[in-house]
């Protein structure tokens, strides 16, 4: 189940990258590169940090195929996506929930402390988007007022709380991903933001 979620998350983030690149009016190669780094950027950084090399997508071409399929689907149906911003939000949010789980599990698999596992989950979910935004000349979402990385941290806490009470793995995955996705959607709908540090505070 976790592997299937990983493939789905990879495709979702690839589509998210394609939709972002559309706004920047990049050529097809540029769009594909943005899709690729969005999908595997966070996981690649995670694998390098934990010493898992070659990194995951280099050992399993199903990830590459998922990116290509997501890229092609986004190209085919781009004219039917009337509200690209909402579509981008949906795919980005799905990827956020799934990739947080993947990062948590990778940390658990090598017996890392729960805090480090949560950091890996957050990194896996967010840093592909960071690379995407930097390449598209935007301030990454994670560094703006939007509640983004914080949601991954909350999801990680929920994950370990459910594990402490010995809930079944499938239910842990379901509840954790739903918590992350729900909070993200509610945060956008009701405009929940973290406070910013003003210039007067910095000075």
Q: What pTM, to 2 d.p., does this model score?
A: 0.84
DSSP 182-203: HHHHHHHHTT-BPPPPPHHHH-
**Please, are residues 151 and 180 in contact by the beta-carbon 8 Å criterion?**
yes
Residue-level pLDDT at 12 = 85
Residue-level pLDDT at 114 = 96
Q: Which residues of the chain have pLDDT under 70?
A: 81-88, 145, 197-203
Q: Is residue 114, in this structure, part of any structural domain at all?
A: yes
Handedness of CA 75, 67, 178, 125 (dihedral sign): negative
Q: Is residue 102, in this structure, part of any structural domain at all?
A: yes
Q: Is residue 176, in this structure, part of any structural domain at all?
A: yes
Q: Is residue 148, in this structure, part of any structural domain at all?
A: yes
Residue-level pLDDT at 83 = 59
What is the tally of structural domains in the chain? 1
Q: Is residue 156, in this structure, part of any structural domain at all?
A: yes
Q: Is residue 63, in this structure, part of any structural domain at all?
A: yes
Q: Is residue 203, in this structure, part of any structural domain at all?
A: no
Coil, strand or helix: which one is 192?
Answer: coil
Q: Give the domain extent around 60.
A: 2-198
Residue-level pLDDT at 201 = 43
Handedness of CA 78, 149, 52, 6 (dihedral sign): negative
What crossing angle do the helices spanning 2-23 and 114-135 adopt, rounded to 10°? 30
Residue-level pLDDT at 86 = 67
């Amino acid at each position: 189940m976790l592997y299937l979620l990983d493939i789905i998350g990879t495709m979702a983030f690839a589509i998210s990258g394609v939709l972002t690149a559309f706004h920047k009016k990049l050529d097809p190669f540029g769009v594909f590169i943005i899709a690729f780094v969005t999908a595997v950027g966070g996981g690649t950084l995670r694998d390098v940090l934990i010493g898992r090399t070659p990194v995951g997508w280099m050992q399993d071409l199903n990830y590459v195929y998922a990116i290509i399929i997501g890229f092609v689907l986004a190209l085919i149906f781009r004219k039917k996506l009337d509200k690209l911003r909402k579509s981008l939000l949906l795919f980005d949010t799905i990827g956020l929930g799934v990739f947080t789980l993947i990062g948590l599990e990778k940390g658990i698999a090598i017996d890392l402390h729960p805090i480090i596992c949560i950091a890996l989950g957050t990194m896996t979910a967010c840093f592909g988007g960071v690379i995407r935004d930097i390449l598209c000349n935007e301030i990454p979402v994670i560094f703006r007022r939007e509640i983004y990385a914080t949601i991954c941290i909350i999801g990680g806490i929920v994950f370990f709380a459910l594990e402490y009470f010995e809930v079944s793995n499938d239910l842990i995955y379901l509840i954790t991903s739903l918590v992350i996705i729900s909070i993200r959607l509610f945060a956008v709908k009701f405009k929940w933001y973290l406070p910013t540090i003003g210039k007067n505070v910095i000075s």
